[in-house]
Amino acid sequence: MYTLNCRGKIIKIDSPVIMGIINVTPDSFYKGYANLPLTNIVALAGDMINQGATILDLGAQSTRPGSERITAEEEIERLMPALQAIKMAFPEILISADTYHAAVADAAMKSGASIINDISAGEMDAGMIPTVAAWQAPYICMHMKGTPETMQQQALYEDVVKEVLDFFIQKIAICKAAGINDLIIDPGFGFGKTIAHNFSLLKNLSLFSILDVPVLAGLSRKSTVYKTLGCSPAEALNGTTVLNTIALMNGANIIRVHDVKEASEAAILVEAYKKTASL
């Protein structure tokens, strides 16, 4: 079992945690949640909470392959209205700010966020790790090779599992030395990795338990699903549920998803299976 100190609220991770994705960006790779009005965003948050989300992950900058960056100021302008509206409507919900800008992380924490989710693990903004440490916030470190603009041209590894594991051994040490107490690691499915790399990481996900921190799996409607199946992201729900189930069976503690109801059902069934199998 793991615990996270989310601004004084202690969260126990003794069963799978569902993190619902809310993108407040016009160019999300999954168009189902792009360009939503603020009232719809709040309604979506409510639906996710009712369906079993423990954390809502809010992002205001697209990080799909080849995406273009926006400034921290633009990101704050997009993110804060949604974050504040959700926090006002649902004050008890844990909100994670999905950003690689330290300034955005700081603004999000001031507006009620509890967790920072950084796709670059501090590699894209040297101020990020000190900022998270100052807030004593849980920090989600993701592995990414390159940047969103270049990552798919840098998907070269001799042993992807070993290289990602080594990255986290070093990154956890850096974060702890900086004063961050609560870390979560995300292998970064689809971020500077081929489909074969993603399946290799998924197959060997249980190895990451040696790091003794919670493991997050973000597979929802990604190209590993829809390209393998020959469908679109909009048609990738069933495939996503299959890979989420494999991730949970292989030790994922948190799954980051667009579709909370289906992910919650997968988590309930996996837990029931594991308990029965041990009798």
Q: Please give the single-letter amino acid code of residue 48.
A: M
Q: Which distant-in-sequence residues (6+ apart) come within 8 Å of 112 by Cβ?
A: 83, 84, 87, 91, 95
How far apart CA 78 and CA 70 sit, in angstroms, is: 11
The pLDDT score that the predictor gives to residue 277 is: 61
pLDDT tens digits along 66-106: 567 789 999 999 999 999 999 999 999 999 999 999 999 99
Structure tokens that stand for 124 in this block = 């894209």
The pLDDT assigned to 164 comes to 97
Place of tokens 């009620």: 112
The answer, yes or no, to whether residue 155 has pLDDT greater than 90, is no
Locate 234 and state its tokens. 């909009």
User: Global pTM?
Assistant: 0.93
User: Is residue 256 flagged as an active site residue?
Assistant: yes
pLDDT of residue 156: 82
Angle at 188 between CA 36 and CA 134, to 5 degrees: 80
Give mean pLDDT, residues 162-181. 98
What is each CA distance from 154 to 136, 174, 201, in whole angstroms?
Answer: 33, 24, 17
The active-site residue out of 78, 87, 193, 256 is 256
* Short-list 243, 240, 166, 241, CA closest to 203: 243
DSSP conformation letters of 141-189: EE--SS-TTTGGG----SSHHHHHHHHHHHHHHHHHHHT---EEEE--T
Catalytic residue among 87, 193, 221, 222: 222
Note the pLDDT tens digit of each residue in 175-198. 999 999 999 999 999 999 999 999
Predicted pLDDT of residue 150? 60
